[in-house]
Amino acid sequence: MGLSVLFLRVEAITVPRAFIYGSCVGGDTANVFPSEWDRPTYVARQSIISAAFGPTEVVGDIELTSAFQRSMLEGDIEATAFPRLRQELPMHDALILDIVDERLGVYELAPGEYLTRSMELISSKLIGKQPVMPRLIDFGSDEHWGLWSRSVDSLVDVVKDSGIPVFAVLPPWSKKSIQGADLAWHSVSVESMNNKYARYNEYLVQCDFTIVTVPDDEALGDAEHKWGLAPFHYTDSVYESLRDQILAGVSS
């Protein structure tokens, strides 16, 4: 009796995945992606400035109890964003970039050494432990803009050889919530912040990234957002619009 051998060809199943470099805006957009997309890679709380200039030496303990917050702050100190992009981005299908984490500026700890002024850094009490008080460089200032634009040039160099499409997610900050409340940010008007962001957004346009946004009148905040009410915590329809633009770009 002959022996029949059955050969089965098993084809690898490729699951699409996004790499998010940014804030809750990119993360919340990825959260409404179709279920066939894998859980995204997420690098947050790292200004493009601190990422481009490299690791920073700090002293003192990090006073954070949240493992996630500690991880984000340690990533900023070690400037992990660019090395991770170089190594991991080719294994993804899209880079989702947003710049909401730039809003608080950066600290200069020494010439050429910068840390993102994130809520994690503020809560860690690390800044007050440095032997020389770090200097704050405000978002929107000419100094910040100069450092940031140079750093974006470095980011372009990091991602351009990957062949992965880059989507700059740049919805305007919300002036109103869907519930009808006027919005501000720590007593700063949304109009003022949108004006500050304008030249940053335009620079990303010039980098030939695919720009993903919504009209001003559609950019509404939501008091029921899981992170609370803020000008950059939007309604579900905003995230769905951003998602649809990204998916159309990936499939084109």
Mean pLDDT of the chain: 94
pLDDT at 10: 44
pLDDT at 252: 77
pLDDT at 7: 46
* Residue among 54, 41, 49, 36 nearest 89 (CA): 41
Domain membership of residue 136 (yes or no) is: yes
Q: What is the mean pLDDT of residues 149-173?
A: 96
172: left (phi over 0), alpha (psi -120 to 50) or beta: beta
Domain membership of residue 229 (yes or no) is: no
Domain membership of residue 194 (yes or no) is: no
pLDDT at 13: 52
Q: Read out DSSP for 188-218?
A: EEHHHHHHHHHHHHHHHHHTTPEEE---GGG
Domain that holds residue 150: 18-171+210-216+235-251
What total number of domains does the chain contain? 1
Domain membership of residue 7 (yes or no) is: no
Asked whether 79 and 130 are in contact (CB, 8 A), the reply is no
pLDDT at 11: 47
Domain membership of residue 192 (yes or no) is: no
- Asked if the model's pLDDT at residue 4 lies above 60, the reply is no
Domain membership of residue 226 (yes or no) is: no
Domain membership of residue 186 (yes or no) is: no
Q: Is the model more confident about 186 or about 252? A: 186
- The position carrying tokens 């004006």 is 195
161: pLDDT confidence band, cut at 50, 70 and 90?
Answer: confident
- Asked if the model's pLDDT at residue 8 lies above 90, the reply is no
60: left (phi over 0), alpha (psi -120 to 50) or beta: left
Q: What is the pLDDT of residues 217-236, one digit of tens each?
A: 999 999 999 999 999 999 99
Q: Which helix (H) or strand (E) holds 99?
A: none
User: What are the CA-CA distances from residue 65 to residues 3, 70, 71, 76, 81 (Å)?
Assistant: 63, 7, 11, 17, 23
- Residues of the chain with pLDDT > 90, as a percent, come to 93
- Calculated CA dihedral for residues 244, 214, 199, 104, nearest 10 degrees: -90
Spell out where 117-249 has E strands: 135-137, 166-169, 184-185, 188-189, 210-212
Distance, in Å, from the CA atom of 219 to the CA atom of 237, rounded to the nearest integer, reads 9
Distance of CA 205 to the CA centre of its chain: 16
Q: What is the pLDDT of residues 51-79, one digit of tens each?
A: 999 999 999 999 999 999 999 999 999 99
Q: What is the pLDDT of residues 173-220, one digit of tens each?
A: 999 999 999 999 999 999 999 999 999 999 999 998 999 999 999 999
Domain membership of residue 164 (yes or no) is: yes
pLDDT at 44: 95
Distance, in Å, from the CA atom of 19 to the CA atom of 96, rounded to the nearest integer, reads 6
124: pLDDT confidence band, cut at 50, 70 and 90?
Answer: very high
